[in-house]
Amino acid sequence: MAGSAVARTADKLLREVLKAKKGETIAITCDTESDWAFAAELERAAVDIDSKPLLVRNRAPPHVGRAAEPYLPVESLTGAVAESDVWIELNGKWLIYSSVYEAAMKRKRTRYMCLVGMNRDMAVRCVGNVDVPAVLEFQRTLQRITKEAHSMHYETPAGTNVSFENDPKRPVLVEGDVAGPGEYMLIGQVDWAPIEETINGTIAYDGSVNPPDELGLLDEPVKLDFVNGRLVKVYGGRAAKVYERWLKSFNDENMFVPAHVSYGCNPGARLTGNVLEDERIWGVLEWGLGNQSDSFQARNTKAASHSDGITLRPTLVGDGELIIKDGRYVHPELTGIARNIRRPGAH
């Protein structure tokens, strides 16, 4: 890993992606699982543009989101991030969807970017080496295609076979396109919340799933059966048992409700076991269960935690038209733009 590539990536993230300016306060939050050297590189980049960086690190709690709160200095963290102009979250055990995050979103001052667990290598792959305007153009086209599709269905070789309907009034989000205060995710993801009660069939996670902590990369699928938007059965092997036990441990019915579905389209992302990167692998589809972000303008389900799982090599059809075939974007409006996006290792 070349040090200069990391430095260039930190500069690009602040200037080009987050549009950080001189005099702004930039909070960088970490925990004891984070890549401290990447945080320090972001601090250096913030100093270079004459902004005011603030590095904060807490001990990694055993849970994420709302369930982490009893273990966190909630008031101190809230002050640090809600009164900053930019907040970059590098935490391993994420603060997103906790009351710290809710307070920052309510305050409406902060441009928040969720980069949970991002390390230097991943940053270079998924930001430093990426043609940001080209990927954003691809994402906007994918957003338009998805918004126009009412009924969707997809299958994967691992056993996903699920259908759902979209509400044209709900937004389809282009992640990483920063414009003013609000919540932003890493570039290379387009996500939305389908109408929950129309989600029926089987979703088979076969890339990775996290949390819980015990799970990451999967060597056998975790299969989830949904009836009218509610998870009714978890099955597969050992990982499925761990996952089911974890979902039930919260005694929270809302942990069994899908929060969103997402396309991955970051040309640098590869399967590592870190969901932040895995959910952005070119051509994958990913589901989130549990707490639902306000930004989806959907049912707004609040839950104790949130978990994401990756389905590889999907074939997705929207209103009868192929969008992805076996993990390749094949929709005619996408193929031209996709060709201009260099994908390392693509064939």
What does 231-294 look like in DSSP terms, one character per residue?
Answer: EEEEESSHHHHHHHHHHHHT--GGGGSEEEEEEE-BTT---SS-HHHHTTBTT-EEEEEE---G
φ and ψ at residue 304, rounded to 5 degrees: -65, -30
| Residue of closest CB approach to Fe ion | 288
Nearest in space to 295 (alpha carbons), one of 117, 162, 96, 100: 96
| Amino acid present at 140 | R
Task: Compare residues 53 and 205 and give the one whose CB is closer to Fe ion.
Answer: 205
∠ CA 120-307-303, rounded to 5°: 125
What 3-state DSSP class applies to 53?
A: strand
Specify the residue, 152 or 259, whose C-beta has the smaller distance to Fe ion. 259
Q: 79 or 229, CB closer to Fe ion?
A: 229
Q: Which stretch binds Fe ion (CB under 5 A): 6-14, 175-183, 242-250, 284-292?
A: 284-292
Q: Toward Fe ion, which CB reaches closer, 145 or 173? A: 173
Q: Kindly state the number of chain residues that form the binding site for Fe ion, as judged by CB under 5 A.
A: 2
Positive or negative: CA dihedral 183, 308, 201, 311: positive
Decide whether 183 or 308 has the Cβ nearer to Fe ion: 308
Of 294-313, which residues contact Fe ion (CB under 5 A)? 308
- Closest approach of Fe ion to the CB of residue 16, in Å: 25
Q: Which window, 116-124, 143-151, 238-246, 281-289, contacts Fe ion (CB under 5 A)?
A: 281-289
Please give the angle made by the CA atoms of 128, 312 and 150, to the nearest 5 degrees: 95
Instruction: Find the part of the chain contacting Fe ion (CB under 5 A) among 13-21, 36-44, 124-132, 286-294.
Output: 286-294
Is residue 278 involved in binding Fe ion (CB under 5 A)? no
Q: Respond yes or no on whether the N-terminal peptide bond of residue 194 is cis (omega within 30° of 0).
A: no
Q: Between 252 and 308, whose beta carbon lies closer to Fe ion?
A: 308
Minimum Å distance from CB 231 to Fe ion?
15
Q: Is 288 in the site for Fe ion (CB under 5 A)?
A: yes
Name the residue nearer to Fe ion (CB basis): 156 or 210.
210
Q: What is the dihedral of CA 70, 72, 76, 78, to 10 degrees?
A: -80
Is residue 128 part of the contact set for Fe ion (CB under 5 A)?
no
CB 316 → Fe ion: shortest distance, Å? Answer: 18
Give the Cα separation of 234 and 226 in Å (integer).
Answer: 9
Site track for Fe ion across 200-229, x = CB under 5 A: ------------------------------
Q: Which of helix, strand or coil describes residue 4?
A: helix
| Interface region with Fe ion, contact rule CB under 5 A, candidates 52-60, 196-204, 244-252, 280-288 | 280-288
Residues that bind Fe ion (CB under 5 A): 288, 308
